[in-house]
Amino acid sequence: MNYSRITFFLFWIFPFATYAQIEESLIEVSWQYLENSPNEPAGYRAMFEITNHSGADLEAGWSLYFKSPFLLGEVQSENPDFQIRHLTAGLFVIEGRPISPALLPGKSFKVFYSAYDSSLKTAPTPEGLILKKSDGSYFEIGNYKILKMSLQEFEGAGMNTSRSDPDRRSYSQTPPFVPIPKQWKYLGTSDTVSNAGLVVLGDKVFSNEAKFLTGKISQAYKPEIDRAEKPLQIRIAKRDEIPSEGYKLEIRDRRVLILASDTMGAFNGVHAFLALMPEEFWDGPGSRMILPQVEIEDFPILHKD
């Protein structure tokens, strides 16, 4: 089997960081609340605007991913050329029907959508925007603008802003992230990795996903390598029996295994692994990682038309 191996220590990180920075100046995304509905089913309307400020086309077939961990209900695109799908681990994707059109220089697309879910006290603002190009490569959107209602406007629209406290659960019953994956099982207590090296090993078909994962981790994890420390090893492997766009994620000790049958599933598995990192990890850079010992299986709720 062919593998694409990425091994990095502190001084091998920088090429991946510059990859995202180069693209940040090309694409701008803005997001805005349009209205809230106090009636049943309660929900809101919002809009993404994607603008191409570069001198070249954004080729047809691109997709825009975003995180919205508290958006649990139905999301409907109002644009006939686009759809919004809920994938896994709070991850959503804007994509074409059946393929997104090319975005020409100086032009923009507006994607209007409606969402129906339990009302929240604060707005579930999309975050962590990632654009996947038609060639399968990824970059983060650095030029992202948010125009949203103030809390006063939000409450004035008649939305019920009260939220009950979450149910108290034992550790084994607490999901690893929200929205809750289809299946999960904890394997033991979390392992703390400190100043250890990192190896990412992926099947050749998943080389873009391996590169993206390495780049994301490198933004927050910058160890002073201690060769006495057992390295963290991550493998992304192809398994045809996994449902399309689904994944299996297993973390045992310092070994991470992500299984998928296609690139979308591999990306969902990568995102799920990143979602397991505590919020303070992303406040880095730092030299420590906490690895929950867990098995997770998940696949999208909605499938393409």
Backbone CA torsion sign across 139, 240, 5, 59: negative
Provide the pLDDT for residue 122: 41
| Beta-bridge partner residues of 8 | 198
CA neighbor of 139 nearest in space, from 68, 67, 201, 211: 211
pTM beyond 0.85: no
Please, are residues 106 and 53 in contact by the beta-carbon 8 Å criterion? Answer: yes
Sign, CA dihedral 213-113-183-262, equals: negative
Q: What are the two backbone dihedrals, phi and then psi, of residue 26, each rounded to the nearest 5 degrees?
A: -90, -35
How far, in Å, CA of 287 to CA of 281, rounded?
Answer: 10
pLDDT at 160: 37
Give the pLDDT score at 113. 87
The reported pLDDT for the residue numbered 264 is: 92
Question: Alpha helix locations (H) across the chain?
Answer: 14-24, 151-156, 207-220, 263-275
Pick the CATH number of 3-16+168-298 from 3.40.50.2300, 3.10.20.30, 3.40.50.720, 3.30.379.10: 3.30.379.10
pLDDT score recorded for residue 221? 94
pLDDT less than 70: residues of the chain: 1-25, 36-42, 69-74, 89, 117-124, 148-180, 301-305
Determine the Cα–Cα distance for residues 182 and 196; give it in Å rounded to an integer: 32
User: What pLDDT shows up at residue 193?
Assistant: 92
Pairing of strands 255-260, 232-238: parallel
Cα–Cα distance for residue pair 42/154, rounded to 1 Å: 13
- Signed CA dihedral, 281, 265, 259, 207: sign only: negative
Kindly report the backbone phi and psi dihedral angles of residue 226, in degrees, each rounded to the nearest multiple of 5, phi listed first: -105, 110
Query: Measured between alpha carbons, how far is residue 195 from residues 17, 21, 183, 287 in Å?
Result: 20, 26, 32, 5
Query: What pLDDT is attached to residue 4?
Result: 53
Q: Domain residues of the chain, as ranges?
A: 3-16+168-298, 18-156
So what CATH class is 18-156? Answer: mainly beta
Digit-coded pLDDT (tens) for 85-126? 888 767 889 999 999 999 999 999 999 988 775 444 344 688
- Which pLDDT belongs to residue 166? 36
Estimate the crossing angle of helix 263-275 against helix 207-220, to 10 degrees. 20
Helical packing angle, 207-220 and 14-24, nearest 10°: 100
